[in-house]
Amino acid sequence: MDVETVVLVIGANGQLGSVLTTTLKEKFGNDNVIASDLRKSKGFKGIFEVIDATDINRIEEVVLQYKVTQIYHLAAILSAKGEENPIQTWDINMKTLFNVLEVSRLNNIDKVFFPSSIAVFGEGAPLDDTPNNAYLDPATVYGISKAAGENWAQYYFLRYGLDVRSIRYPGVIGYQSLPGGGTTDYAVDVYHKAVLKKEFSCFLKEDTTLPMIFMDDVIRATLELMEAPKEQIKIRTSYNIAGISFSPAEVVAEIRKLYPDFEIKYNPDFRQEIASRWPKSIDDSAATNHWGWKPEFDLEAITIKMIEKLEEKYKTGSTNKEVLLF
Ligand code: AKB
C-alpha cells in the first residue's frame, strides 16, 4: 500500500511559503500539510507547528510526530537583508539547510524541495540567456549560500540517494503575500503603490532588467518539479526557470495603461549593485526538456491580475496596511 504523503513546509509565513502551503493543502488535504515558521501567523487555519529550523531536534520531533514524507524548506534570509549581517546570514541559511538534509536522510524522507535563486549568478555568467551550467560567482552572501546549498543538495543525492529537488527562482510577483528583504521586491511593491495611488520610489535604476515570475507560474513550476518521475530529474544542483524579464520602466509603462497618472521616482541604492550582477534573462531549456516547464504569464497578464486582485483586497480591507517593506 502507498504511504500517504504528509508535507512539512518550513518557512510557511513567507512570500512563497504562505501561497504554497495553501496549494499543498488543496492537493494533499488539510490534515496532510504541516505549516511551520518561527511564529504562527494571525488567522492561519490548519496544522501549524512553531519551528526554528536552526534547531535540528525540533524539526525531527515534528517529522516523527506527523510521519512527514516530504519537506519544503523555504526559510532563508534573502539578498538585500542578508547583506546587513553576512556571517549571520550564512549561518542561518546553511544551518537550516543542513538540518533539513540531515533529518531527511536519517528519517527516510521521500522528497525534499530546496529553493535556489538567480542570485547564484555573478559576473562570470553571461547576463543574457544565462545557461543552467554557467559559472557561479555570486556577490551576495545569500547567493553564496544558495550556490553552496545547491552543491550540498546534489551531494546528499549522490552520497545518500536523498531525492532533493531544486529550482532557481527569479523574482516572484504575487498579490497574496508580501516579500521581504529581496532585491526584486520592488516589482511587488510597485503594484501596491499604484493601487493605493501613491508615488513609487524605486531603489533600482529604470533600465535594470531582471528575470521575474508570477506566483501562479512559480507554484506550478515547484509542484511540477516535485511530481516529475525521478528519472526525469537530471540536474541535482538546481534548475533555471524563466518567467518574464522586465525593467522598472517597463512595468511602469504597463501599469500606466490602467493608471495613467501613476508616478515613479528613481532613487537607486545598494540594491542596484546587487541587481547589476544578476542575469537579465534566463535560459530554462533544461527544465523545459527534462520535466516540461513552460511559463504562462507575461508582463501584461501579470499587471492585469495584480491590479485586479489588489484593488479587490484593498476594497475589502483584507490588505489594510500600507506596504512599507523597504
Ligand atoms: C531576492 O531578490 O533576494 C529574491 C531572489 C531573486 O532570490 N527575490
Q: What is the pLDDT of residues 21-63, one digit of tens each?
A: 999 999 999 999 999 999 999 889 999 999 999 999 999 999 9
What are the CA-CA distances from residue 4 to residues 31, 67, 103 (Å)? 11, 9, 19
Q: Which is the catalytic residue, given 66, 135, 142, 156?
A: 142
Is pLDDT above 60 for 326? Answer: no
Which value, to the nearest 10 degrees, does the dihedral of the CA atoms of residues 284, 286, 292, 294 take? Answer: 10
Specify the ligand 1 atom closest to the Cα of 118. Answer: 6
Where does the pLDDT of residue 322 fall: very low under 50, low under 70, confident under 90, or very high at 90 and above?
A: very low
pLDDT, residue 321, reads: 44
Q: Ligand 1 in contact with 78 (CB < 6 A)? A: yes
Where does the pLDDT of residue 1 fall: very low under 50, low under 70, confident under 90, or very high at 90 and above?
A: low
Catalytic-residue membership of 142: yes
Compute the distance between CA of residue 244 and CA of residue 282 in angstroms, rounded to an integer. Answer: 9
Q: Is residue 72 within 8 Å of 225, Cβ to Cβ?
A: no
* Higher pLDDT, residue 320 or 37: 37
Q: Is residue 121 within 8 Å of 277, Cβ to Cβ?
A: yes
Specify the ligand 1 atom closest to the Cα of 172. Answer: 8
Backbone angles phi, psi at 246, to 5 degrees: -155, 165
Intra-chain end-to-end CA distance of the chain, in Å: 50
Q: Ligand 1 in contact with 118 (CB < 6 A)? A: yes
pLDDT, residue 2, reads: 64
Query: From edge to edge, which strands make up the β-sheet containing 210-214?
Result: 171-173, 210-214, 244-246
Burial class of residue 141, CB neighbours in 10 A (0-12, 13-18, 19+): buried
Where does the pLDDT of residue 160 fall: very low under 50, low under 70, confident under 90, or very high at 90 and above?
A: very high
Which residues are paired to 254 by β-bridges? none
Compute the distance between CA of residue 70 and CA of residue 222 in angstroms, rounded to an integer. Answer: 13
What are the CA-CA distances from residue 142 to residues 42, 43, 76, 93 (Å)? 28, 30, 8, 8
Find the 163 Cα to ligand 1 centroid distance in Å: 24
Compute the distance between CA of residue 199 and CA of residue 189 in angstroms, rounded to an integer. Answer: 11
pLDDT more than 70, % of the chain: 97
Query: How is residue 69 written as a grid cell?
Result: 514524507
Give ∠ CA 207-213-215 in degrees, rounded to 5. Answer: 140
Specify the ligand 1 atom closest to the Cα of 184. Answer: 2
Q: Ligand 1 in contact with 140 (CB < 6 A)? A: no
pLDDT, residue 3, reads: 78
Query: How is residue 205 written as a grid cell?
Result: 535604476
pLDDT, residue 320, reads: 40
Q: What is the pLDDT of residues 58-97, one digit of tens each?
A: 999 999 999 999 999 999 999 999 999 999 999 999 999 9
Statement: the pTM of the whole predicted model exceeds 0.85 = yes
Pocket residue to mutate for ligand 1, from 84, 184, 245, most atoms within 8 A of Cβ: 184
Which residues are paired to 169 by β-bridges? 117
Place of cell 483586497: 313
Rg (CA), the chain: 19
State mean pLDDT over 298-309. 98
What are the CA-CA distances from residue 240 to residues 82, 142, 166, 235, 294 (Å)? 22, 17, 9, 10, 12
pLDDT, residue 317, reads: 81
Q: What is the pLDDT of residues 241-294, one digit of tens each?
A: 999 999 999 999 999 999 999 999 999 999 999 999 999 999 999 999 999 999
